Amino acid sequence: MYTLGKTTDIDWHLVICTCEIIEKNNNLTFLTMLMLKSRS
């Protein structure tokens, strides 16, 4: 996993953190905001 580069490690870190936040808070609004941000 770590041989793919720093960018990949950071992306996985963000994905894991996002999943944890969604699981803990069950916040669909957060997910929607995240999707809108990635679009623009």
Q: Which residue has the higher pLDDT, 31 or 15?
A: 15
Given a cut of 70, whether residue 2 has pLDDT beyond it is no
| pTM, rounded to two decimals | 0.35
Tally of CA atoms within 13 A in the half-sphere of 38 that contains its CB:
7
pLDDT tens digit sequence for 9-24:
677 788 888 878 777 7
| Whole-number pLDDT of residue 16 | 83
Given a cut of 80, whether residue 30 has pLDDT beyond it is no
Q: Which amino acid makes up residue 13?
A: H
Helix (H, G, I), strand (E, B) or coil at 30: helix
User: Taking the domains of the chain in order of start, what are their residue ranges?
Assistant: 2-39
